Amino acid sequence: MNYATTFLRTLAVRRKVQTLSMSSAVHENVKNYYGSRLETSDDLQTNAACSMPSRPLRKSACEALKQVHPDVCKRYFGCGLVIPEKLEGCTVLDLGSGSGRDCYVLSKLVGERGQVIGLDMTDEMIVASQKYVQYHQEKFGYSKPNTVFVKGYMEKLSDPGIQNNSLDVVVSNCVICLCPDKRTVISEAYKVLKEGGELYYSDMYASKVVPDSFKEDPVLWGEGMAGTLYWRDLITLMKDIGFSTPHLVAGSHIVVHNPELQRKTGDVTYASGTYRIFKLPQNSIKTKALVTYKGTVPDCAECFEFDASHSFKTNVPVEVGAEMAAILQNTRFSTDFNISMLDTPDPNQSSTPQYCHLSPFLLADKLGSSVKQCSKTGH
């Protein structure tokens, strides 16, 4: 082995040790911040936990949320809505489940045949969420609980016993921004999803690459501002790991209340963005398709708003690109569409796509969502 090879390997090991050390320090800071320091969402120093997304809750999700215990909603620290459509019978994992608010909404929507797993690394949050399992089981009229909360880290999902290729949907609500190693988190989500499964999550995003100096501030970490991704880097990361292109569902500006935090963050601005991303088969057909929505997705009888750019009206044929065709053909939505593959190759598959339509900042500007008000309880 020559000197150069030995040096590079030593450097790689050293960087790995430094990353692990940083991850451990960040984990401890976040545990303390959310386990002890924050009692309610009012204690946050941004409006992230109440930013109104540009997309309203569907009727079934709204009804489910009304049945969630008030004490669970009080400690909600998310930054969006992570309730995708058509969840009946699905197995869903919530990364960073916190007080369990989203898990209990999902519990109602997956039904008694489905299952919801809440994962959190904070003892206080696990105890708080477990306290209401029986309450919601009885509230929803289930013969047995369909929700379980486990302690663990998003960077290693096998430790709490989550199997590869076992989940229909993975959700997360303003938690991945708290993780120093986002590539590992996203890779783990990819591994545990079934083929055709969906990652549907909300998170904070930055208007530019966040300076390294932010990462030395424990409050900026706790508020999610130090670990926030530049929104364009999300797209690159997802594609590198093997996911589909992210589809932007909702976006809203995040306002920093604290003048000291405003000074620290300078010209970096933040937005909440909800994206849906899919684990597609490697051999998906790369041609356009003519698709006709049947009106069969629950709560979407007349129109299925898939994301901020794709809206499918019932019985109206629409031509879609190759990747969207693959999504509709290979996921849980396959039975909701009549799909006719076309012979036309999609030029976007070989060229460099323009991703401006995926910016949560542009969507928030377009809809003026930063001026909307909301209830801290989520009701």
**Which H or E element spans position 61?**
helix 59-66
**pLDDT tens, position by position, 202-221:** 999 999 999 989 888 888 88
Could you count the other beta carbons within 10 Å of the beta carbon of residue 354? Answer: 8
Look at the block and give the residue holding tokens 């997309």.
55
Please tell me the least confidently modeled range out of 15-29, 279-293, 304-318: 15-29
**pLDDT tens, position by position, 52-66:** 445 678 999 999 999
Is 20's pLDDT higher than 70?
Answer: no
Provide the pLDDT for residue 53.
47
Distance CA 26, CA 32 (A): 10
Instruction: Kindly give the pairing relationship between strand 287-293 and strand 337-345.
Output: antiparallel
Instruction: Say if residue 145 is exposed, middle or buried (CB neighbours under 10 Å; 0-12, 13-18, 19+).
Output: middle
Query: Who has greater pLDDT, 111 or 212?
Result: 111
Handedness of CA 199, 201, 204, 207 (dihedral sign): positive
**Which H or E element spans position 197?**
strand 193-206
Is 28's pLDDT higher than 60?
Answer: no
**288's tokens:** 């356009």
Burial 154-188 (b: 16+ CB within 10 A, else e): bbebeeeebeeebbbbbbbbbbbbbbbbbebbbbb
Taking Cα atoms as reference points, which of 182, 284, 176, 170 lies closest to residue 241?
182
Provide the pLDDT for residue 103.
97
**pLDDT tens, position by position, 172-203:** 998 999 898 999 999 999 999 999 999 999 99
Sequence-separated (6 or more) residues with CB below 8 Å from residue 73: 65, 99, 101, 377, 378, 379
Distance CA 213, CA 215 (A): 5
Most confidently modeled of 31-40, 256-265, 286-295, 361-370? 286-295
Provide the pLDDT for residue 7.
45
Proportion of the chain in helix, strand, coil states, percent, rounded to 5: 40, 20, 40
Helices (H), 199-277: 218-222, 231-241, 259-265
Residue type, 184: T
Instruction: Say if residue 374 is exposed, middle or buried (CB neighbours under 10 Å; 0-12, 13-18, 19+).
Output: middle
Provide the pLDDT for residue 343.
83
CB 139 within 8 A of CB 161: no
Query: Who has greater pLDDT, 81 or 122?
Result: 122
**120's tokens:** 């959190």
pTM (2 d.p.): 0.84
Average pLDDT over residues 325-331: 96
The order of strands in the sheet holding 317-320 is 317-320, 287-293, 337-345
Residue 353 pLDDT class (50, 70, 90 cuts) = low
Q: Helix (H, G, I), strand (E, B), or coil: what is residue 77?
A: coil
Provide the pLDDT for residue 362.
92
Most confidently modeled of 29-33, 45-49, 333-337? 333-337
Provide the pLDDT for residue 74.
86
Helices (H), 81-121: 101-110
Provide the pLDDT for residue 249.
94
Is 350's pLDDT higher than 90?
Answer: no
CB 154 within 8 A of CB 119: yes
Provide the pLDDT for residue 22.
47
